[in-house]
Amino acid sequence: MGALRVWHWVSGTWRPGFVAGVRRRDAGFGTKAGRRPQPQASSKSKDPVDDQPFPGLLRTENLGVEELVDVLKAAVVDQKGPLVTLNKPQGLPVTGMGTGRPGELTLLSVLPQLSQALGLGHRELQVVRAPGKEASGLVLLSSCPQTASRLQKFFAHSRRSQRPTATYCAITDGIPEPSEGTVSVALKLERVDGIDLAVPAASPSRKDILEGVKRTLSHFHVMATGCGCALVQLQPLTVFPSQLQVHMALQLCPVLGDHTCAARVGTVLGQRFLWPATTTKPQIQVLDEALLKRLRLSPSQVAQMPLHLHLHRLLLPGTRSRDPPSELLAPVPSYFSRTLQCLRLSQK
């Protein structure tokens, strides 16, 4: 097994190193549990690109409780025993923490109604695993506290063993170099204009770790490239808010639709560099004219561009200790598929 490139924060800059024996799991972007996922979109596709810039994008902030429950019920991709898996729409917060919008509907706030809608009666669902607000994809729910606890232990043990259980797909502005590697950096949350932002912390001390600084780690693998963008597989091995967005920005390849971390990447004479995260405020992502033309977007439409980060695959423990893990899959949203088609990105 070959070594993978690793980037570490050293003395205020990023320097490459190598780590041996890192194993990744290949995954495409499919639709059903228990089957090897198949790639979506093709550079030779003859289907016309949807004229709507972000088809299928759901503005969850405009929904009432009943409407949101109906959306979530329709988004269920698997329901077996106490476990319910759904494909969360982009923009729906899981909890109210860190959203900055008091009274906003969240997944957590409508779980009692969703439990009733799914025929679970008094057995209320609880969140076991879910992507952040701006990401879309798989949410794992359980109506059994013992099952939820077992799953949490499985995920925690997998993290300690550095075995990824979650696989995201992302479309990035820019192509990561090298095409496969690991990002390792200490992150902390810093309050800026009422928003908690994840920023790198150089050479954290033991006191910093105790005060909330966390060492984060993610694998990445470029699956396809086109038009100066990339389809990237991401596997986090730690849990931290906006971890994957920060890690891609540190690769100078922010995720499309990232209106928080993309501003940290500047360009001078065609060369990209990092602005200090602590002094760079979030702003609408800036895309060059050629990319806008390829995406068929006007500059004003970029503000509505959703984050192209989707949790499409989760591994779950087998029924017995010796059983291999099973997998759950969720298809990418329609706007994600449209972007793949516009950029002529297809899996190698």
Q: Calculate what percentage of the chain has a pLDDT beyond 70.
A: 83
- Nearest one of 131, 146, 62 to 314, comparing CA atoms: 131
pLDDT value for 98: 52
pLDDT tens figures, 139-153: 999 999 999 999 999
Is residue 8 within 8 Å of 184, Cβ to Cβ?
Answer: yes
Tokens of 64: 């009432």
Q: How far apart are CA 263 and CA 236, in angstroms?
A: 22
Rounded Cα–Cα distance for residues 153 and 156 (Å): 5
Q: Where are the domains of the chain?
A: 4-11+60-342
* CATH code of the region 4-11+60-342: 3.30.2350.10
- Identify which of 189, 210, 214 has the alpha carbon closest to the alpha carbon of residue 199: 189
Report residue 318's pLDDT band, with 50, 70 and 90 as the boundaries: confident
Name, of 15-24, 36-45, 275-284, the range with top average pLDDT. Answer: 275-284
Asked if the model's pLDDT at residue 294 lies above 60, the reply is yes
| DSSP letter (8 states) at residue 283 | -
- Does residue 209 surpass a pLDDT of 90? no
Residue range 177-181: average pLDDT?
A: 96
